[in-house]
Amino acid sequence: MNMGNVMGNVSWLTKDFRSDGRLRIGSTGHKNLYIALGLGGSGLDAKGGIVGGNIEIAKIDTYVHIREEPNVEPDHTVGVRLHALELRLDYMATSVLMCRVSDLNVNLRDEWKLDRTTRESFIPTRRPASIFVHGVLSWDQLQMMISKSTTADLLKMFNKLEEFFSQQFNSSKRAFSGFSGASRQPRSTQSKTREAPASQSQPAPSTDARHHRHWQKVLSHVAGLRLSTMQSPLPPRGTVLGGSMELHGNNISLACFHGINFKSKSWALFSLKEPCINFNTESQEIPSTSEGNPAQDVHIVQTLACSLGLSTYKTHLSMATVCKVQIDEVDKFPSLEREKGEGNNSIERARGSTSSPKLADPNHNREVIFALPSLQLHLKTEHLQTADVPDILGDKPTVECSFITEFEDHIFVTVDAEAFFFLHDLITSYVKEKERVLGGLDRRSNSEDKTPSKKGSIDVDIFAKDWRDYNCKTWHLEPTVRLLSVAGKYIEPYGIDYILQKLGFSHARTTIPKWMQRGFMDPLDAILAVLTLRMVHVVKGDSNKEEKKVGELKK
C-alpha cells in the first residue's frame, strides 16, 4: 500500500492466524463464553515517507472470558499475551525511538459485589455494593532508546498522521455524501449548526486536569443500575467504585542519548531490576459537607506502592543504577570509507551492544553515577471532592498524604563531579527541548483557533496545573548515602535530607508526594475510571435490551 509522502510504502504481513472459542448458555440465564484469537507473527513496515519505521510482533494471543449466572455477580476477563515485540520509529529517515519488550502479559477483570441486605440509613463503613476493575501488566525485559528530539519528533509524527487521516476521512465522507443527493445537505448543515453551540459550551480539557475529578460521572451511571442477572438493582447511593493496577517486570533499561539522535558518543543508561508498581483506588459518595446541599461529595482513597528487588528483598545488591556510557577515543578514528564486510569495530556495531547488561566492549566506558538497593515506597492520599467543581477564586482542596520508605542499604553515588554535570546537562537539555516544542505548538494552535475545545490543540500546562494543596501528615524518608570510592566506606554516610537540599529540594516533603500523585496516581486513577465507565456502559446496554424484551412480552 502506498500512503503518499507521509508514510510512503506500507506493508503489513501476518502469519499463523488461529482462533478458538466455546459457548455454553442456558434458559435460566447461565452464560459461559470464551473466545481466543492468536497470531504466530505480524509485522508492519513503512519506508519512503516522512513517518516510517517498523513493528515486529511474535506469538500474540488474546482472549475474552464472560461468565454470568442468575443471581450471581458477573465476571468478565480480558487478556493479552505477547512473546516479543520490537519497535522502531523514524522521522525524516532518522530513528527517533527504539523499543523492545518480551513476555508481555496483560490481564483485565472486573469484580462485582452486591450486599442484598436493605438498610435505609447511611453508614460510612458499610458497602452496599462495590465494583472494581483489576489490571495486571507484567513483562520480562523492557528496553528503550531515546534522544533529546524524541518527544518533539513524536509530536510531529502524530500531527502528520492526524492531518493525513483527517484529510482521507473528509474526502471519503464527501465522496459518499455526493451519492445521497442534495436534499441531505441542509440537514447536515443544520446538524452542524446545532452542534456548534454545544461544542463551544464544553469546558476546556484543562479544567478536568486541574481538579482530577474522575469518578463523578461513573458514580452517576451506577446509581440504581439494574443487571439482567440480578433481581435487585444497585443502590441509588453508597456504591464503592475503584480498582487496582499492578505493573511488574524483571528488568527495565532506558538509554538517553546526549544529543538529537543516536549518533551521540555519550548517553545515560538507567537500569531497574525487578520493578513493581501497585496502585489501588476507591471512591464513594458521602453526604455533602455543605449545609443544605442535597448533592453528594466524593471521598477517594488512593495507595501507591513501588518496590525494587521484591523477590530478592533484604539483600545488598544494587537494584537500580544510573550510568554514564561513552565511546572511548571516538575522535581518533580515521574518516575513511571501509569496504563491505568490515566494520567489526564500527561505532554502530559497538553501540548495538548497549542493550546487553554486560558492557565489556573495549569501545565503551561505563561509569556508575547512582546505585540504589532494594527498596519500597508507600504513598497514601485521601481526596475529598465536593459536589460542585471548586471555584478557582476560592480555597483549594487539600490532599492528605502519608509517605513511608524502606531502604535495605545505602544509596551509593559517584565522587566524579563531571558525571554529575553530565547528568544535569542531559536532563536539562531534554526538559528544555520538550518545553520549546510544546510552547511552539501551543502558540501555533492559539493563532489558528482561539476556541479551547479545538480538536488536536495541546494545553502546555495540562499536567503542571493542579488545583490542590498537599498536606503530608506522615513522612518517613531516611536512607543514607555513601560515596562510590575506596575511601567512601571510611566516611560517615550522609543523610538524604542533606542531599535533597543540595539538589534544590527545599520542600521535599510536599514536592515528592505531589510528583508521585501527578506522575503515577492521577493517570492510573483516570485509566481505571474510564475502564469502569466503559464496562458499565456495556452491561447497562445489555440490561436495557432485556428490559425492552420484557416490556414487549407484557404488551
Q: What is the pLDDT of residues 60-72, one digit of tens each?
A: 999 999 998 888 8
> Which one is predicted more confidently, 126 or 498?
126
Angle of the 417-448 helix axis to the 150-177 helix axis, nearest 10: 20
Q: Read off the pLDDT of residues 85-127 as tens digits, 9 standing for 90 and up.
A: 999 999 998 999 999 999 999 999 999 988 766 555 555 567 7
CA distance 176 to 183: 14
The least confident of 101-105, 294-298, 311-315, 464-468 is 311-315
Question: Whole-model pTM?
Answer: 0.78
pLDDT (average), residues 296-317: 82
| pLDDT attached to residue 508 | 78
Q: List Cβ neighbours of 163 (8 Å cut-off, separation of 6 or more).
A: none
Average pLDDT over residues 335-347: 43
When pLDDT is cut at 50, 70 and 90, the band that residue 45 belongs to is very high
Helix boundaries (H) for 11-124: none
Q: Which of 165-169, 265-269, 273-277, 496-500 has the lowest mean pLDDT?
A: 496-500
CA–CA separation, 211 vs 290, rounded Å? Answer: 19
Question: Residue by residue, what is the 3-state secondary structure of 511-523?
Answer: HHHHHHHHHHHHH
Computed on alpha carbons and rounded to an integer, the radius of gyration of the chain in Å comes to 28
Cβ proximity of 46 and 10 under 8 Å: yes
Determine the distance from the C-alpha atom of residue 72 to the mean position of all C-alpha atoms in its chain, rounded to a whole number: 33
Cβ proximity of 373 and 319 under 8 Å: yes
Confidence of residue 388 (pLDDT cuts 50, 70, 90): confident
Confidence of residue 345 (pLDDT cuts 50, 70, 90): very low
Q: What is the pLDDT of residues 395-444, one digit of tens each?
A: 889 999 999 998 888 888 888 888 888 988 998 888 888 788 777 666 56
The overall average pLDDT reported for the chain is 79
- The Cα–Cα gap between 541 and 287 comes to 29
Helix residue ranges per DSSP H, 178-215: 185-201, 205-211
pLDDT confidence band for 526 (50 / 70 / 90): very high
Tell me the C-alpha to C-alpha distance, in Å, between residue 17 and each of 37, 38, 60, 103: 8, 6, 10, 19
Residue 198 pLDDT more than 50? no
Mean pLDDT of 363-381: 88
Average pLDDT over residues 285-314: 82
Q: Are 365 and 330 in contact (CB under 8 A)?
A: no
Structure confidence by residue, pLDDT tens digits, 150-190: 988 998 899 899 988 888 888 888 877 766 554 444 444 44
Cα-Cα end-to-end distance for the chain: 55
Average pLDDT over residues 139-152: 92
Residue for cell digits 528483598?
Answer: 313
- Give the model's pLDDT for residue 175: 79
pLDDT score at 332: 58
pLDDT for 457? 40
Question: In this predicted structure, what is the pLDDT of residue 315?
Answer: 62
pLDDT, residue 71, reads: 84
Provide the pLDDT for residue 144: 95
Contact 431, 464 (CB under 8 A): no
CA atoms within 13 A on the CB side of 27: 0
Instruction: Work out whether strand 411-413 and strand 480-483 pair parallel, antiparallel, or are unpaired.
Output: parallel
Calpha distance 431→433 (Å, rounded): 5
Q: Which residues of 108-124 are buried (b: 16+ CB within 10 A; e: fewer)?
A: bbbbbebeeeeeeeeee
Query: If you average pLDDT over residues 273-302, what whole number do you get?
Result: 88
- Cα distance between residue 495 and residue 107, in whole Å: 41
Of 418, 407, 404, nearest in space to 318 by CA: 407
Instruction: Pinpoint the alpha helices (H) of 380-491.
Output: 417-448
Q: Is the pLDDT of residue 202 over 90?
A: no
User: What pLDDT is stored for residue 85 in this prediction?
Assistant: 93
Is the predicted pLDDT of residue 196 greater than 50, yes or no? no
| Cell triple for 258 | 546526549
Query: In this model, does residue 14 exceed pLDDT 60?
Result: yes
